[in-house]
Amino acid sequence: MEISTLATYHCLAFVWYFFIAYSTTRVKAEEPPSEVFLYGGQWKYLTVLNLVLQAVFYGVSFLADVLRLIKKLRCAKRVISSRDLLFSVLAFPVSTFVSISFWTLYTYNRELVYPKSLDRVIPLWLNHAMHTAVFPFALLEILALPHRYPAKKKGLILLGFVAFLYISWVLWIYSVTGEWVYPLFALFSPPGLAAFFAGSLAFIISCYNFGEFLNRMIWGQSKFS
């Protein structure tokens, strides 16, 4: 893609994710279902955190494109490094994880992850914007331009650290409220929950590897922006 085309695409993607993230903060209900919007608000949900992550990523990508357009190549190089690290370690794996895991659980038993009571609070289009569109956007980004992946050990350590922070946040909310972020977690014993978290970590690592594989298959090892 031409740099000007990339800049337009990244700008539009940034505006889209900013709008969706903002829309989640405007969700209101006269009678909020269960504990959904109490302690931690929307910021306890990985889906919402992912929207913010995507907005940040596309904002950084747009900045990199603008710097290249105005020939600030030294600054652009540093921003591109940050862009690629953000995409490879977080933006692609988290989007893939959110979309696939959500719709898998939703199909099995939606009450475990997205209770029917939310339908009167969150419109259908917003649900698909949060849980469906994120995966095609991630794939489109890989098709649009190559991204430099870090050394495998470094990438997985960073991804694992972020996963640990989110799991810690989930456990902290439970310790304060006695309520799980997702009803699914209440079905597990402590060892079962630990196994579920370990399985989720293994899955998001596979999402990381999938993104790296696609990037390498489409762009090879040597072509980078």
Q: Convert the pLDDT of each residue in 48-67 to its tens digit.
A: 999 999 999 999 999 999 99
Q: Is residue 73 part of a domain?
A: yes
Check residue 221 and give its pLDDT.
67
Locate all alpha helices (DSSP H) within the chain, ordered by sequence.
Answer: 3-25, 46-69, 73-86, 92-109, 124-131, 134-144, 152-177, 190-219
Residue 33 within a domain: no
Q: Is the pLDDT of residue 28 over 80?
A: no
117 pLDDT band (50/70/90 cuts)?
Answer: confident
- Tracing tokens 């105005």 back to the chain, one arrives at 70
Measured in degrees and rounded to the nearest 5, phi and psi for residue 41 equal 50, -150
Residue 23 CB neighbours (<10 A): 16
Determine, yes or no, domain membership for 31. no
Residue 103 has pLDDT above 80, yes or no: yes
Nearest partner of 24 among 36, 8, 13, judged by Cα: 36
Tally of domains within the chain: 1
Domain extent at residue 64: 3-26+38-219
> pTM surpassing 0.75?
yes
Residue 27 is which amino acid? Answer: V
| pLDDT at position 29 | 52
Residue 70, domain member (yes or no): yes
CA 168-33-163 angle, to 5 degrees, is: 20
Q: How much is the pLDDT for 224?
A: 45
Place of tokens 């989007």: 95
Instruction: Please state the rounded mean pLDDT for residues 145-162.
Output: 95
> Does residue 225 sit within a domain?
no
Is residue 152 one of the residues assigned to a domain?
yes
Q: Is residue 95 part of a domain?
A: yes
Q: Are 57 and 94 in contact (CB under 8 A)?
A: no
Count of positions (residues) in the chain: 225
Mean pLDDT (whole number) for 125-148: 95
86 falls within a domain = yes
